[in-house]
Amino acid sequence: QSALTQPPSASGSPGQSVTISCTGTSSDVGGYNYVSWYQQHPGKAPKLMIYEVSKRPSGVPDRFSGSKSGNTASLTVSGLQAEDEADYHCSSYAGSNTPYVFGTGTKVTVL
């Protein structure tokens, strides 16, 4: 199972929006509505931000939203804030033998 493809970096000014893509195949992203997004600050463990393509866990601001079309999922961060500067990783379910396929990761910079 190959890693999902994400752009290495993305950036935006405070208050702007940034969208990150996550491209897989019909065996993972395209085959299931089980795409998650994780935020990771330097030296810290990842934190779940989006699950099942577009659902937010309790406590995650509604500035974070997710979507999917075909084999590509997207995470949008609206109204960028300084604390949103972090690495973002997508993942998809790909069957019981491979419960998680992760993306290559995207570093988001708030200019």
Partner 1 sequence: EVQLVETGGGLIQPGGSLRLSCAASGFTVSSIYMSWVRQAPGKGLEWVSVIYSGGSTSYADSVKGRFTISRDNSKNTLYLQMNSLRAEDTAVYYCARGNWNERTVDSWGQGTLVTVSS
Under rule CB under 8 A, residue 12 binds partner 1: no
Calculate the CA dihedral of residues 58, 6, 98, 43 and round it to 10 degrees: -60
Q: Is 36 in the site for partner 1 (CB under 8 A)?
A: yes
What does the DSSP 8-state code read for residue 89? E
97 to 9, 20, 71, 73, 104: CA distances (angstroms):
30, 27, 20, 22, 20
- Choices 13-21, 45-53, 60-68, 74-82 (CB under 8 A): range interacting with partner 1: 45-53
Which residues in 46-85 contact partner 1 (CB under 8 A)? 46-48, 51-52, 55, 57
User: Where along the sequence are the contacts to partner 1 (CB under 8 A)?
Assistant: 1, 3, 6, 32, 34, 36, 38, 45-48, 51-52, 55, 57, 89, 91, 93, 96-105
